Amino acid sequence: MRLVTWNINSVRARLAHVEKMVESHNPDVICLQETKVVDNDFPMKTFNKLGYEYSAIAGQKSYNGVAIFARSPFTIEESPLWCSKDDKRHLAVRFENGTIIHNFYIPAGGDVPDAELNDKFAHKLAFIDEVTEWFTEKKHPENKFILVGDLNIAPLEQDVWSHKQLLKVVSHTPIEVEYLNRMQASHDWIDAMREFVPATDPLFSWWSYRARDWRASNKGRRLDHIWVTPALKQSLKSMFVDLDIRGLEKPSDHAPVFMDFDLDL
């Protein structure tokens, strides 16, 4: 089973990129974030044409939005109303083999890393807190969970181009890392990407649009993640980040992240 997670930054603006990605890598499951479209306007025909018969979408106009597409049947799991906001940041689906995929788009948090001065940052921390509590209650050694998405935090020193320069920048501040670490501990989640790239090596999935030549400067951050519960650790096979898709004309600022599993859905 090949899975891709991708903050697409407007699905309707990047349908050609979706087609290129599927042509190049043929994933079995596609998890998207920041689709930025209401459900009635979602371009379902494109995904159906590409062979994705099963879908779950949760969208709103111009902001947020998540979607999951698969070639294997699944049922949609109930999702909490995180922070009492219906802002379309989470979808969960269960496959016939019992595997549940959670697709998250965690709030970015604004520009000021202070919950008292910045409501957006307070929302981000509260959101992570609620997710942590939710998974703590669900914790069981036999759970086969995969968590993917744009978590909007680069937790490790080598997840950013400069640990020292970004310590006070939202996405890499110590308090965000502390909250994400607690979330990871909530179900003993395994950072699957770092199973293939050591924590001592740089690993990025996002590059700012502001960079004139993002490849050359390589001032990236790893904001996109794939986690698995311990029951699925042995199923991990390989991982890669597709920089070529990031390099297409008018791209998302995120690159798609792929994970191969020894699983039959």
In the predicted model, residues of the chain with pLDDT beneath 70 are: none
Burial of 234 (0-12, 13-18, 19+ CB in 10 A): exposed
DSSP 40: G
Please give the model's pTM, rounded to 2 decimal places: 0.97
Could you read off the pLDDT of 139-158 as tens digits, one per residue? 999 999 999 999 999 999 99
Contacts of 42 (CB under 8 A, 6+ apart): 11, 35, 57, 59, 67
- Single-letter code of the amino acid located at 86: D
Domain that holds residue 232: 2-261
- pLDDT number for residue 223: 98
The token pair that represents 69 in the structure block: 């597409």
Which region holds residue 147: left if phi is over 0, alpha if psi is between -120 and 50, else beta?
A: beta
- pLDDT number for residue 212: 85
Looking at the structure of the chain, the number of domains it has is 1
CATH number of 87's domain: 3.60.10.10
Q: Identify the bridge partners of residue 23 per DSSP, sorted by sequence position.
A: none
The token pair that represents 170 in the structure block: 């939202």
Measured at the CA of 257, the angle between CA 74 and CA 52, to 5 degrees, comes to 35
